[in-house]
Amino acid sequence: MKNLRITVNGTAYDVQVEELGAGSAAAPVAAVPAAAPKAAPAPTTPAGSTGAVQVNAPMPGTVVSVEVTQGQAVKKGDTLVILEAMKMENEIAAPQDGTVASINCAKGESVDSGKLLVSLN
């Protein structure tokens, strides 16, 4: 009997594998999750507290980093979020001067096109 750890889609499973001789049959052993995967951090602000100016993802991708903090003053063109799409890092910039009202994404999160990333006042 061998004990192995197998990871499938980020979830680790501890399994026992029995080596069988020719013509032997054995019942399969059920896989049991070893540990729960880490949950993505919750957005910085609760839903419903967004600012007047919404900055949405222009394409589907993965958030590489969030470059601002809630309450931070930003100028037009300042980088708010870096989004990776098709192996390219894209800087998502502030469309106008303002203050960061909410951050609605987290590092490592996969986002769809049009998802709210940051809102400004």
Question: pLDDT tens digits for 61-99?
Answer: 999 999 999 999 999 999 999 999 988 999 999 999 999
Residue 47 has which token pair? 């839903």
Tell me, yes or no, whether 60 and 111 share the same domain: yes
On whether both 20 and 60 belong to a single domain, the answer is no
Report if residue 42 sits inside a domain.
Answer: no
Please check whether residues 60 and 116 belong to one and the same domain. yes
pLDDT, position 37 = 54
Q: Write out the residue range of the structural domain in which residue 12 sits.
A: 2-35
Q: What percent of the chain has pLDDT over 90?
A: 54
Least confident of 5-9, 29-33, 52-56, 101-105: 29-33
Q: Which pLDDT score is estimated for 15? A: 80
At residue 13, what is the residue type? Y
Percent of the chain with pLDDT over 70: 76
Q: Which residues contact 116 (CB under 8 A, 6 or more apart)?
A: 50, 54, 55, 56, 104, 105
Report if residue 88 sits inside a domain: yes
Residue 111 sits in a domain of what CATH number?
Answer: 2.40.50.100
Q: Which residue has the higher pLDDT, 119 or 7?
A: 119
Note whether 58 and 116 are same-domain residues. Answer: yes
